[in-house]
């Protein structure tokens, strides 16, 4: 009888020391960073917070369609030979930065690099005349528009930036896209520059950076301009 009582006591002691069983709790999956490097970018979710009036970009970006009434920023990523169109859109119950388009580009060579910086669209022109720099033609003889001669390297359209004589434009050498082949400007295929042409207007901010990840954008670039009040002054004839 004593031996039986001892066995019962041992069993109770073992059960008392054993941890209680509980079903495993499913852990939420962490978002996987997606490197923004080209047209085949996977979708991922992340809200970009304002930090001291700026947006700090990571490799995670939501995608959505272009909205003509949303503030637009163009970002030229020299490291991946990509041009991104970003917009601040009202999504759900909040405003978020969306990537609405990514295009392949060609940038400057090592001898004629594309300068980094923040620029503004100064002017747009379809079928522009090209005036070569003196380093190419000392006489700077103008080349007629692309629809008259395919010798024009600007292609079907050009988006000119303020300062440094820079432009985002088409090309007459599509095989050079995704290479460092230009004299400093940012080339695109003629089909792509036509799409970009319709998404930007005068004073649209354009960032030219070494890489997408880590780029800091100004919050003010995403503030929608208020329509100007109509003048009550009658025009003189």
Q: What is the CATH number of the domain that holds 58?
A: 2.40.440.10
12 falls within a domain: no
Query: Which residues does residue 110 pair with via DSSP β-bridges, in sequence order?
Result: none
Domain that holds residue 189: 54-222
22 falls within a domain: no
34 falls within a domain: no
112 falls within a domain: yes
Per the CB < 8 A criterion, the answer to whether 101 and 196 are in contact is: yes
The secondary structure of 87-143 as a DSSP string is: EEEEETTEEEEEEEEEEE-BEE-SSSPPPPEEEEEEEEEES--B---TTT-TT-PPB
10 falls within a domain: no
Name the nearest CA neighbour of 160 among 189, 192, 129, 191.
129
227 falls within a domain: no
d(CA 21, CA 228): 68
Output the pTM of the full model: 0.75
Render pLDDT for 97-143 as a digit per residue (tens, 0 to 9).
899 999 999 999 999 999 999 999 999 999 999 999 888 899 999 99
107 falls within a domain: yes
Render pLDDT for 55-95 as a digit per residue (tens, 0 to 9).
788 777 889 999 999 999 999 999 999 999 999 998 778 88
What's the number of domains the chain is made of? 1
184 falls within a domain: yes
Name the nearest CA neighbour of 169 among 98, 121, 113.
121
């Amino acid at each position: 009888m004593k031996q039986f009582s001892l066995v019962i006591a041992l069993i109770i002691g073992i059960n008392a020391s054993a941890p209680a069983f509980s079903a495993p709790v499913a852990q939420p999956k962490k978002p996987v960073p997606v490197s923004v490097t080209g047209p085949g970018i996977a979708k991922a979710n992340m809200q970009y917070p304002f930090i001291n009036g700026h947006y700090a970009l990571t490799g995670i970006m939501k995608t959505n369609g272009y909205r003509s009434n949303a503030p637009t920023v163009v970002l030229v990523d020299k490291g991946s030979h990509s041009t991104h169109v970003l917009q601040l859109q009202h999504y759900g119950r909040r405003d978020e930065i969306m990537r609405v388009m990514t295009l392949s580009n060609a940038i400057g060579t090592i001898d004629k690099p594309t300068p980094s910086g923040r620029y503004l669209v100064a002017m747009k022109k379809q079928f522009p005349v090209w005036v070569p720099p003196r380093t190419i033609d000392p006489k700077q003889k103008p080349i007629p528009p692309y629809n008259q001669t395919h010798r024009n390297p600007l292609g079907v359209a050009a988006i000119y930036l303020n300062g440094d004589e820079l432009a985002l434009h088409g090309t007459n050498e599509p095989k050079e896209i995704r290479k460092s082949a230009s004299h400093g400007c940012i080339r695109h295929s003629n089909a792509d520059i036509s799409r970009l042409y319709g998404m930007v207007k005068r004073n649209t901010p354009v960032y030219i950076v070494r890489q997408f990840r880590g780029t800091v954008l100004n919050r003010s670039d995403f503030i929608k301009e208020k329509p100007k009040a109509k003048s009550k002054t009658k025009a003189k004839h």
